[in-house]
Chains A and B, each alone.
Chain A
């Protein structure tokens, strides 16, 4: 019992958690034929159910899971896992049909049917089921109401609504101007840009993986790993002072975590060159600034000339550079994560004088 809990607490550590989710995604994409099996789907759902049932016997676990506002996130975990599996399965099945020289299922089913009754009844049933779930849920679980608002009494932890907890989790690695303003805006811009950047004419209107490998992998990485799993992390595994707590751990307000993060400038000047930090801000942060600029200007050009040359030629300069910029901004989060975990790097550029930290 305790050993299993210990294991889960260990695995839930943000570093392992993130690493394992990336490994899982790689496996899903790479071994998709195996992943698409029915038994895997049942297995996943069974495992999740067993995990939550097991957790119900642990008071710390129940304390977090049973918070009324956290219940939807339990549902979210099941739904995201299920639909990831389901859509990959549909894609793999279609790919197998194509490989066998058949049409995709959507093509096979392209004869027309009457909306009444074929569609309206499906809609009616969906609507009735949805209402039933909502009514039962509402009767079973009261909406929370806590103490009246008191600006003088800050709860610890203070959390944003759950759908923004992925962004709040980014605050660990980025300053608010990036985590709270620039990156969210870029997520929106990035989503809106997808149809204009992705010019692959295939895979329009049916499930497929083989015809859209890169697109689907990137999207799954963004939606399932960066967005959904960070929400789960932020909701269930972040306690007082935004410290990490395993799912079976008590949220101890006094838990201390060593903060020994170091700025890049300190690495270079103090530890590297053995001098004091220069007074001139631009000299002090020069390397970091150049690195950051190079990341968004030089790196895309290099990519276009080397590994991604094929894409550059297919997409043309505008699409390629806009796409590469957005993609690199997305990757900046895992890069920041790993540099924090591996070398305790705090900021690449640190100019608190101007509220400018990267």
Chain B
């Protein structure tokens, strides 16, 4: 609880207003301590704020330096938040069907004056791919994957893959030529999965008598696309993956990742 401040009659109007504000019940119900200007409050601010409590209270000096972390992990997280926010706005306008998908995207430009949400979302996604790579690069160059952080490195690799998958599934949604052909080229690979793709080595061995178990309508690519080509099934599948499944998984893993950064002893440094 903040201590009541004596309101000095000779103080300026601004200061008196500030003192009054910070003593109202509303203010004190939100902020449980004074501004973090002394050591005690610098501890309290970290402990009582749910967003700040991801951080420790104190940190080795090199760990706050840009030269050490490049802030790339932090920026990846920030971009993820931006993408979540702009993505939700886009979902208000976008319907994932062959009939509407393309025209909804075009309509976005026509009906939402000065709208840049689609741009923010697309460029933000590209940027996030890059920041995640650079973050991995930094973590490698400082040797921060070494014990005790092996597990967190692995969580990171999975998030890297998820970041790429998020970007890939989103690429299809505008349903223009760029989208379906990029996804066609990408998903054609699945056709060649050993054993599980119908043009993959070994698939022809999986047969009962004359009956082929793996064919174009049940192989790995079919599972990915919900069809034998990039069509309605693929659009719905990619939409659900992109807007629900993958963000949930990566969000969950981020929580694990940040928790482990703390539990592994905070930002790495020389022992």
**Chain A residues close to B by CB (< 8 Å):** 69, 72, 75-76, 79-80, 83, 87, 90-91, 103-107, 109-120, 122-123, 126-127, 130-131, 134-135, 137-139, 141-151, 153-155, 158-164, 167-168, 175-177, 179-182, 188, 191-192, 194-196, 198, 200-208, 212, 216, 219, 223, 354-356
Given A113-B59, A114-B42, A204-B271, CB of A123 within 8 Å of CB of B201 = no
Q: What total of chain B residues lie within 8 Å of the partner, measured CB to CB?
A: 100
Q: B182 to A115, Cβ gap below 8 A?
A: no
B57 partner residues in chain A, CB cutoff 8 A: 114-115
Q: A115 to B137, Cβ gap below 8 A?
A: no
A76, A107, A119, A146: the one within 8 Å of B270 (CB):
A107
A90 partner residues in chain B, CB cutoff 8 A: 67, 141
Q: B178 to A206, Cβ gap below 8 A?
A: no
Q: A112 to B137, Cβ gap below 8 A?
A: no
Q: Does B31 contact A (CB under 8 A)?
A: no
Closest to B201 in A: A356
Stretch at the interface among B11-19, B126-134, B249-257: B126-134
A-B pairs with beta carbons under 8 Å apart, 16 shown: A69-B126, A114-B42, A116-B52, A123-B74, A126-B78, A134-B127, A143-B119, A149-B179, A154-B181, A160-B182, A161-B182, A168-B185, A195-B146, A195-B153, A196-B150, A205-B268
- 1/0 per residue B69-80: CB within 8 Å of A? 011001100110
- 1/0 per residue B154-192: CB within 8 Å of A? 100100110010011001001111111110111011111
**Chain B residues close to A by CB (< 8 Å):** 36, 39, 42, 45-46, 52, 55-68, 70-71, 74-75, 78-79, 82, 102, 105-106, 109, 116, 118-124, 126-127, 129-130, 133-134, 136-138, 140-147, 149-150, 153-154, 157, 160-161, 164, 167-168, 171, 174-182, 184-186, 188-194, 197, 199-204, 229-231, 268-271
B40 to chain A, nearest CB (A): 11
Q: B167 to A163, Cβ gap below 8 A?
A: yes
A195 partner residues in chain B, CB cutoff 8 A: 145-147, 149-150, 153-154
B123 to chain A, nearest CB (A): 5
Given A114-B42, A198-B146, A356-B201, CB of A83 within 8 Å of CB of B137 = yes
Closest to A156 in B: B181
B192 partner residues in chain A, CB cutoff 8 A: 175-177, 180-181, 355
Given A83-B134, A176-B189, CB of A119 within 8 Å of CB of B55 = yes
B167 partner residues in chain A, CB cutoff 8 A: 161, 163
Q: A160 to B190, Cβ gap below 8 A?
A: no
Q: Is the interface of A mostly helix, strand, loop or mixed?
A: helix
A215 to chain B, nearest CB (A): 8
A97 to chain B, nearest CB (A): 11
Given A138-B120, A159-B185, A195-B150, CB of A203 within 8 Å of CB of B199 = no
A148 partner residues in chain B, CB cutoff 8 A: 102, 175-177
Given A72-B126, A203-B143, CB of A164 within 8 Å of CB of B71 = no
A115 partner residues in chain B, CB cutoff 8 A: 42, 46, 52, 55-59, 64
B256 to chain A, nearest CB (A): 15
Q: B134 to A146, Cβ gap below 8 A?
A: no
Cα A223 to Cα B71 with chains together (Å): 20
Query: Nearest 7 A-B pairs (CB), nearest first?
Result: A180-B189, A138-B119, A195-B150, A176-B192, A205-B268, A72-B126, A177-B192
